[in-house]
Amino acid sequence: MSSDPVILDVLASICKDALQLFERVKVVFDDKEERISNVCISKHFVYFVNREMNRLIEGRERLSYLDIERAVLDSSTKRFFLLELQPSSGSTWSGTRILIQSPHRELLMQKLALCWQAEIMYRLFQVKKFEVVKAALGEQLATIKNLTADQSDLIKVEPFRGYADNFSYRGYSFWLRKGFESTSGLKDGVFQNDEGWEVNYKAQPVVVPPGVRVMVQVDNEQLVMDLEKSRDGMDDLRSVAMEYQRSLTENLDQFYVVVSGQYLKKMNRTDDIASWDGWEFFVRSKEYAFACVLFRRQYIPPLCSTYQDIAVVVRCPAQGMTNDSCEVILDECHCIADSISSVYENVGIYKRPVQARLDTLHFTEDGYRWAEGQLGMVPVHRRVACRFVKSLVKILVNESALWDESIEHAEVFKDIAEMSDPLQVPQELISEAESLLQTSSDRLERRNAWAVRIARYFAFCVDGGILGERFTFPLLIQSLGRVSSDVDTSMKAVIDFLLHVKPRDDWKVNFFLEKEKSMSLVALSKDPENFSQFSFNDVIMRHLLSEGYVENELKKRPPGAGADYAEMLAQLLTNETVGLGLRTMVCRHILDMVGSQIHEDEEAKFEKAVKQLVPALVKVMNGANHILMSYATASLVNLSCGRANMKQLLVSHGVLSWCVKQLKIKHDELTLYTLFLLVNLTKTPHHRFIVVKEGGVPLLVDILTSSYQNLRKQRILAEVASVLGQLCNDPETRSLISESFPVVACLLWVNDAAQPNTKLKSKLLFALRQLCLLGQNKVKVGPHIIPVLLEELALASWAYEECATNLVLLLSSLASINTNAVLMQDQIDASLETCGFLKDGVPAKNNKLVNQLWPKVEALRIRIRDAKAAQGEF
């Protein structure tokens, strides 16, 4: 069933009526005429169009809703129903019943009933309900027995033990644990279990409390081609998940995210050929815990041109929940999400319309890959595209610019002739369409749109769509440095064609077809404002940027000939009309640029570029897309690492304030990069003062207290400990953290669970050492941690030098309290012997770690002896 506007227009021209939807079905008229037909629904009639979609079925052209008496649903299958007819006076229809086999029986019946009731009101001025009854038609009609003789749709996948499969919502069925019931009695996708249940998890019983609620949400189907037009990141499922998480938690006073990441669906109960992408997250608040899995189902049969977003949310009362309870709720959500599937089983593909879409190049790059992989279908122009690619390969092989010269003899190029000028191939393809456009009133716009689709498809074919990894667009760019000047000029013309710059939203101009108005990449980058006025192939632009092609081309221009490279990147990054994928790639490109080594003679040029890029990165930090914000923050991390002048530049742009605001966003990746940046920027007292003044301490403590028991977040915990440790360099902040927040207790808990000689352990020891500058903390920490530290000292080595250094410094700090020092006396020398510090009671020789730490170790041993003496022990 579909309401695709293009196909409906084609069918409407045959039916001479405006149509609402159509469905390809198997129809039997009066138990005699069996055929495959397209049932088309309009306001007043049901039309029957032949399978080829080129004419109405003779003698069965249309059926008035007034001729339908009632519908009988077959109770033994989900696909058959019978329309019982009573032709009204003046009706042209002959016959008394129509048997229809449809994979979308429920939706088709709903639409027929709605149109029937509307027609009765419109024509007869009566309000009636369409009569629908159920009966075992398969036992009464021989036709159904014949049609179902070789059907596999009666095979059923049974649910797991303790689960039921009688739950569905908006065309999707799923399994729920027994005890779940609809909360309202309506079909709203909300179910609740008021009994609770008990399961075994890690060989221990875990009780799930009553009141667990499951919410299933299904969005309307949308066209895949419209998805990429989104400029707010909705083409990326991760952005959709973050927005959904924000809407789910916007009314919660306090919450934290336990899990957030990609999810792989593990069940396909109905042999669905559509593509499923998933994302999951788990949120805990004071009142509830939320487990959520989001899916994007793309290339939905039968036309494979739409997508649909689906969310499964499990809400559980949070009171008394443990970590094991959280895992059980998350597993329950996984089970429900894995079981979700379309109620319309064995939906066939409408191959003719799908092939027509492929032939007119109305697919995305991922769509072409999916159609070839799942359906074995490719555009009719694939052979022409192979000719284009072979022409490029032949030129580069003749120039010895490709390492794999055998590529020109690939099987896909068999019996295909190359051309000396590759651009003649798309030009001929565009010219062939001229005869079809002669009578069109918008001929120019259609021709230009066709040229854009050809350029995009050829770009896909060049970028691995034909030869995979053997020949890609990056390989084409890399080969340019090994060709003659004539070939270089020819290849750059090909690149400009594949990039295909055109006025945004203006289809009356095509620069490729009107050479006098041509717009090359260099011309596009001359003025950064051009990116708002012109559109281009984002995928090709990403490759051109990542391979350094754009930068090299701009370097060839004379000084003052236009915007420089950094200014162009800044404009791309902040331009809202540029796609999220390209802007994300620009962020990653800047990340690589600022993270690479800079020669002294290029330092001035680098600083100039940075001054252009920093405002753009800060503007992105102030945006709404968490993914883009994460990459921008990561770029600033690389930029500020080891560069004092850059740190001051960032602080002058208010980066510290934005960092504190970003800590309020519960997004793991963004939080991690923000903490990295704070580690770089909190080295000086002034910068630390800004963080404290902006309210950074409570936010850092909130991250620590909400994550310290979640060892999935070890990287975040390590950086939180590092930032807290640096803030504790200031006595006022140290006292604030120690006296007003449970930081010490949390750090001790994490330290007990952390593995020795890891980054997490090193940062924890550093933070505890900073906090133990206060005497009361030494008394609190010492008895708990000293035995553990002495055991880990025995594992010290040069490979984990930072961890060993922080461990020795913490022991030295704790030893200033006599009772702590006495606790160390029995094991300190044994640990030093085990790790190689001491050999027969004297310092080991030729040991890097001993050479670096021995003065501190010796001072610690002296302090322990002094503590023993103070207690009268000698």
Average pLDDT for residues 263-286, to the nearest whole number? 92
Per-range mean pLDDT, top range of 571-585, 605-619, 660-674: 660-674
The whole-chain average pLDDT of the chain stands at 88
| Residue 484 to residues 408, 480, 488, 489, Cα–Cα distance (Å) | 20, 9, 6, 9
Q: Which of 20-24, 277-281, 437-441, 762-766 has the lowest mean pLDDT?
A: 437-441
Rounded-to-integer distance, Cα 767 and Cα 776, Å: 15
Rounded-to-integer distance, Cα 302 and Cα 347, Å: 6
pLDDT category of residue 22 using cuts at 50, 70 and 90? very high
| Cβ burial 353-380 (10 Å sphere, 16+ → b, else e) | bbbbbbebbbbbbebbebbeeebebbbe
Question: What are the residues facing 502 on neighbouring strands?
Answer: 535
Q: Return the domain boundaries, the chain.
A: 5-147, 166-342, 381-555, 783-874
CATH assignment, 166-342: 3.40.1000.10
Contact status, residue 372 vs residue 457, Cβ threshold 8 Å? no
How confident is the model at residue 518, as a pLDDT?
A: 59
How confident is the model at residue 655, as a pLDDT?
A: 92
Rounded-to-integer distance, Cα 394 and Cα 365, Å: 24
Kindly tell me if the per-residue pLDDT of 864 is higher than 60.
yes
* Residues ≥6 apart with Cβ < 8 Å to 424: none
Structure tokens given for 123: 């024509």
Rounded-to-integer distance, Cα 358 and Cα 440, Å: 22
The rounded percent of the chain whose pLDDT value lies above 70 is: 94
Rg value, the chain, Cα: 35
Average pLDDT for residues 331-339, to the nearest whole number? 96
pLDDT category of residue 561 using cuts at 50, 70 and 90? low
Contact status, residue 310 vs residue 216, Cβ threshold 8 Å? yes
Name the residue with tokens 């009566």.
126
Number of CB atoms found within 10 A of residue 497's CB: 24
Question: What are the residues facing 316 on neighbouring strands?
Answer: 289
Q: Which of 136-150, 441-455, 666-680 has the lowest mean pLDDT?
A: 136-150
236-240: which pairs have CB atoms within 8 A and are 24 or more residues apart? 236/580, 236/581, 236/627, 237/277, 237/278, 237/279, 237/294, 237/296, 238/279, 238/627, 239/580, 239/625, 239/626, 239/627, 240/279, 240/294, 240/296, 240/309
- Dump pLDDT digits (tens) for 519-559: 677 777 777 677 888 888 889 999 998 888 888 888 877 76
Choose between 181 and 434: higher pLDDT.
181
Q: How far apart are the first and last CA of the chain?
A: 92
| Residue 408 to residues 463, 488, 588, Cα–Cα distance (Å) | 16, 19, 34
pLDDT category of residue 150 using cuts at 50, 70 and 90? low
- Dump pLDDT digits (tens) for 73-84: 988 888 889 999
The rounded percent of the chain whose pLDDT value lies above 90 is: 47
Rounded-to-integer distance, Cα 9 and Cα 169, Å: 30
Per-range mean pLDDT, top range of 30-39, 498-507, 783-792: 783-792
Structure tokens given for 592: 């690589």
Kindly tell me if the per-residue pLDDT of 766 is higher than 90.
yes
How confident is the model at residue 598, as a pLDDT?
A: 64
Rounded-to-integer distance, Cα 192 and Cα 211, Å: 6
Kindly tell me if the per-residue pLDDT of 563 is higher than 90.
no
Whether residue 528 has a cis bond before it, omega within 30° of 0: no
Rounded-to-integer distance, Cα 541 and Cα 459, Å: 11
How confident is the model at residue 707, as a pLDDT?
A: 81
Kindly tell me if the per-residue pLDDT of 767 is higher than 90.
yes
- Dump pLDDT digits (tens) for 675-725: 999 999 999 999 999 999 999 999 999 999 888 777 678 899 999 999 999
Rounded-to-integer distance, Cα 573 and Cα 294, Å: 28
Residues in the chain: 874
Element housing 665 (H / E): none
Rounded-to-integer distance, Cα 320 and Cα 572, Å: 50
CATH topology of domain 5-147: PH-domain like (2.30.29)
Contact status, residue 750 vs residue 706, Cβ threshold 8 Å? no
Backbone angles phi, psi at 518, to 5 degrees: -60, 145
Helix, strand, coil: what percent of the chain each, to 5? 50, 15, 30
- Dump pLDDT digits (tens) for 108-130: 999 999 999 999 999 999 999 99
How confident is the model at residue 502, as a pLDDT?
A: 85
DSSP state, 506? -
Kindly tell me if the per-residue pLDDT of 139 is higher than 80.
no
pLDDT category of residue 744 using cuts at 50, 70 and 90? very high
How confident is the model at residue 88, as a pLDDT?
A: 80
How confident is the model at residue 513, as a pLDDT?
A: 67
**Stated pTM of the model:** 0.83
- Dump pLDDT digits (tens) for 211-239: 999 999 999 998 888 887 776 677 889 88
